[in-house]
Amino acid sequence: MIYIIDHQDSFTWNIVHQFSKFNKVICSNYFEINNKLLEKCDVIVFSPGPGSPKDYPLSSKIYKKYKGKKKIIGICLGYQMILYNEGGKIIQQKRIYHGFQSKIKINGQSKIFKNNKQFKVGRYHSLKLMEPFKSNTIKITMRCSKTKIPMGLEDNTNKIYGFQFHPESFLTENGDILIKKILSA
Partner 1 sequence: MKEHNQHKLSFNPYLEKLYQSDKPLIIYKVIDGYNIYTDFSKKILLNNKNINGFLKSFEKKKYKKETDLYLGFFGYEILCNLIGISIKNKKRLNFYKGIFYKPETIIKIRKDIKIISNIKNHKFNKQFNKTKILSPFKINIPYQKYKKIFDLFSKKIRQGETYQIKICTKYKNKSLINPINFFWKLMRVNSSPESFMIKDKDYSIVSCSPETLIDKKKNSIITKPIAGTLKKNSSINKLIALNYFKNNEKETKEHNMIVDMERSDLSKICKPGSVKIIKKKYVAEYKHLFHYVTSIGGMLNQKTQLIEIIKAMMPGGSVIGCPKIRTLELLNNQEKESRNIFTGSFGYIKFNQDMKFNIIIRSILNYRNKSEISAASGVVLDSTSKKEFNENYIKAKSLLELFK
Active site (annotated) includes residue 168: yes
Q: Which stretch binds partner 1 (CB under 8 A): 15-23, 63-71, 130-138, 154-162?
A: 15-23
Nearest to 164 by CA among 108, 113, 95, 90: 90
**Distance between CA 72 and CA 17 in Å, rounded?**
18
- With b for 16 or more beta-carbon neighbours within 10 A and e for fewer, the 76-104 pattern comes to bbbbbbbbbbbebebeeeeeebeeeebeb
CB of 99 to partner 1, least distance (A): 4
CA 111 to chain centre: 16
| Residue 13 in the binding site for partner 1 (CB under 8 A) | yes
Q: Which stretch binds partner 1 (CB under 8 A): 110-118, 121-129, 141-149, 177-185?
A: 121-129
Backbone angles phi, psi at 173, to 5 degrees: -80, 135
Site for partner 1 in 34-93 (CB under 8 A): 49-52, 77, 92
**Distance between CA 66 and CA 109 in Å, rounded?**
24
Pick between residue 67 and residue 166 the one whose CB is nearest to partner 1.
Answer: 166
Nearest to 124 by CA among 184, 47, 55: 47
| Residue 21 in the binding site for partner 1 (CB under 8 A) | yes
**Distance between CA 13 and CA 15 in Å, rounded?**
5
Q: Binding partner 1 by CB under 8 A: which of 8, 23, 115, 137? A: 8
| Residue 98 in the binding site for partner 1 (CB under 8 A) | yes
CB of 119 to partner 1, least distance (A): 17
Active site (annotated) includes residue 166: yes
Of residues 76, 86, 144, 154, which has the active-site annotation? 76
**Distance between CA 141 and CA 110 in Å, rounded?**
5
Binding-site ranges for partner 1 (CB under 8 A): 8-14, 16-17, 20-21, 49-52, 77, 92, 96, 98-101, 122, 124-127, 166, 168-171
Which residues have a catalytic role annotated? 76, 166, 168
